[in-house]
Amino acid sequence: MEKGKIINGVTCDVQTCVYHCNSRECNAGEIRVGPHKAENSSDTICATFKPKDKMN
């Protein structure tokens, strides 16, 4: 997935993700959240997460 524009209305606190920018913004262009059988928010994950290069 390529970086895109900031996704309005989506906040992200995962500073180790390559798509995290500025204070709490996501520029993944689109996000995928799962799994499909989640029963509450603690059961969900961001499947779009990609770790930042540790060299930067």
pLDDT of 51 over the 90 cut: yes
pLDDT of residue 7: 87
Q: Which domain holds residue 31?
A: 1-56
Stated length of the chain = 56
pLDDT of residue 18: 93
Domain count, the chain: 1
Identity of the residue numbered 5: K
Please state, rounded to an integer, the average pLDDT across all residues of the chain: 88
Short-list 3, 16, 22, CA closest to 51: 16
pLDDT of residue 39: 92
Cα separation, 4 vs 7, in Å, equals 8
pLDDT 10s digits, 6-28: 888 888 999 999 999 988 999 99
pTM for the model stands at 0.76
Q: 17 pairs with which residues across the strands?
A: 51
